[in-house]
Structure 1
Amino acid sequence: MTGRLGRSGRWVFLVLLGLYFLVPQLAMARFAFQNVPVVLLGPDTFFSKWSFDALGQALAEPALWQATGVSAVLAVLTVALTLVLLVPPTIYVEVRAPRLRPWLSAATLVPWVIPPIALVVGVAATFRAVAPGFLASTASLVPFYAVWALPFTYRALDAGLRAINARTLVEAATSLGSSTAGAVVRVLLPNLTASLVAAGGLTTALVLGEFAFASLLLKQTLPTYLVDFQRSQARAGMALALAVMVLTALALAAVVRLLRRRGLGTTTLGL
């Protein structure tokens, strides 16, 4: 009896959670894709006058593709910088100094303790006199995004290292004659592919959705463009925002499927 109640409770929770996310998305879709006045949107008009004209109008804006290109470049640079900053210390702590893991985990959470506006103001005050060109460039967003993504990236890498039992793999590789650096390059990194992809996917999703830093530094990225576009064309802007949301969800689902195919916990000794 208790087991049945537990299963029923889980299903009820999942259904309520699904409705919590589905109902707002449905309201967005009706506002964006139904050519019906908002005051007339109701159950009786649910199937009336659906059209993708608003989305086509939004996609025809050249500024959209320019902002999308900027965000894509920032995403690539942020992923590269984040992995360069985190992969070496995470591997070192896991293999050589596991006692430092709580300290590294806590350090990656520090950026979330500082509000974005305080972080931007502090960095701007420091670099405005020393390197004014840094803040003027769109690339100045990359360090902010990389720091903001640390909690996601670190936990994806840490979970991957624990899943493959990295310390045992390195010890096995060195016992077979490999150097520590060779063991990391030829054994750990190939087995960390799934975690690296997951970390990159999470970081990319953060960059494509982050608004605060770009707005405070007056940079035109995809999120800031969406906000500005919605102010002038509400219906088309809502359609575009919903399309971006769906595409991001599909991309993350594709990453999850890729990870399942590769097998997160599969390990090989590539000596």
Structure 2
Amino acid sequence: MARVIFRWTVLSVMGVFFLLPLVAMVEFSTRDPETWPLLVDWPRLSSEYPALAEGILASLAQAALTSVLMLALLVPTAVWVRLRLPGLRRLVEFLCLLPLTIPAIVLVVGLAPVYAWVNYLIGGSSLTLVFAYTILVLPYAYRAIDTGLSAIDVKTLAEAARSLGAGWTTVIWRVVLPNIRSAVLSAAFLTVALVLGEFTIASLLHRTNLQVAIEYLGKSSATVSVAVSLAALLLAFALLLVLSLAGSSKKGKTS
């Protein structure tokens, strides 16, 4: 009985801790009845807050490109290491997890000289943040993909496909990838959630994204700024919820 009371007490305290700021954001953002209708009226939003519209489009493009680049790098590398270079698995894991141990402010200090050359060679577009974000999401994406690969017998599947004449591209694209679909979706959703919430690197490298636009907007229209922040938070929560439901449905079909 004491354990049940303690458990519900902890859950209640945590629920209040996490939900109270959200309730406050809802209350503040609804003081002006025009705020939320404005967010779904894209022409009006673009006209009244062009910097915010630019930040939204930039973050969506960054999230999509980062997801594609991350998957293009990690999936073939993880599969190849498991099949051909198992001795390098710990090294690859260490390199992928390394950005998790480096504070974002320190990471920016290292990236600043690199981005000076990026500006010189290809310009200062906000889409160049994709390279930095790919490094930033490596720890989360690698763990998701590695967990998916651990759940299947990659070597047997690859050898069977190769014995039937399939090339390595076919093995990865048509044999391995369908079996780790849930892991790939996990990595992609985590990437999107991280990119939509990233502020430090974009701000210090003087690039535009959603969080930078929200920070600037907060100086002129706090209500809209809070509403956009809440909408971005709910979007990230919805993505993680979809990921959880997709994983649960797949487990149910498997069992």
TM class by shorter-chain length? 0.7 to 0.9
In structure 2, the partner of 1:75 is 63
Which entry has the higher C-alpha Rg, 1 or 2?
1
The answer to whether structure 1 residue 54 and structure 2 residue 51 are counterparts is: no
Q: 2: distance between equivalents of 1:167 and 1:7?
A: 46
Q: Which amino acid aligns with 1:138?
A: S
Q: Cα–Cα, structure 1 residues 253 and 141, in superposed 2: closer, same or farther, change >3 Å?
A: same
Q: Give the conservation status (yes or no) of the 8 Å contact 1:32–1:236.
A: yes
Q: Cα–Cα, structure 1 residues 95 and 14, in superposed 2: closer, same or farther, change >3 Å?
A: farther
Residue ranges of structure 2 left out of the alignment (5+ in a row): none
TM-score by length of 1: 0.79
Give the counterpart of 1:177 among 164, 170, 180: 164
Q: Cα–Cα, structure 1 residues 135 and 13, in superposed 2: closer, same or farther, change >3 Å?
A: farther
TM-score by length of 2: 0.84
In structure 2, the partner of 1:46 is none
Q: Give the conservation status (yes or no) of the 8 Å contact 2:144–2:187.
A: yes
Q: Cα–Cα, structure 1 residues 164 and 233, in superposed 2: closer, same or farther, change >3 Å?
A: same
Q: 1: distance between equivalents of 2:59 and 2:252?
A: 29
In structure 2, the partner of 1:18 is 15
Q: Which amino acid aligns with 1:24?
A: P
Pairing of 1:189-204 with structure 2 (within 5 A): 189-204=177-192
- CA RMSD for the aligned pairs? 2.7
* Distance apart, 1:231 and its partner CA: 1.7
SS for the counterpart of 2:206 is: coil
SS for the counterpart of 2:207 is: coil
Q: 1: distance between equivalents of 2:214 and 2:206?
A: 14
The answer to whether structure 1 residue 28 and structure 2 residue 25 are counterparts is: yes
Q: Which amino acid aligns with 1:32?
A: S
Q: Percent sequence identity over matched residues?
A: 34
SS for the counterpart of 2:71 is: helix
In structure 1, the partner of 2:210 is 222
Q: Give the conservation status (yes or no) of the 8 Å contact 2:76–2:172.
A: no
Q: 2: distance between equivalents of 1:160 and 1:168?
A: 15
* Distance apart, 1:140 and its partner CA: 1.6
Q: Cα–Cα, structure 1 residues 126 and 222, in superposed 2: closer, same or farther, change >3 Å?
A: closer
In structure 2, the partner of 1:104 is 92
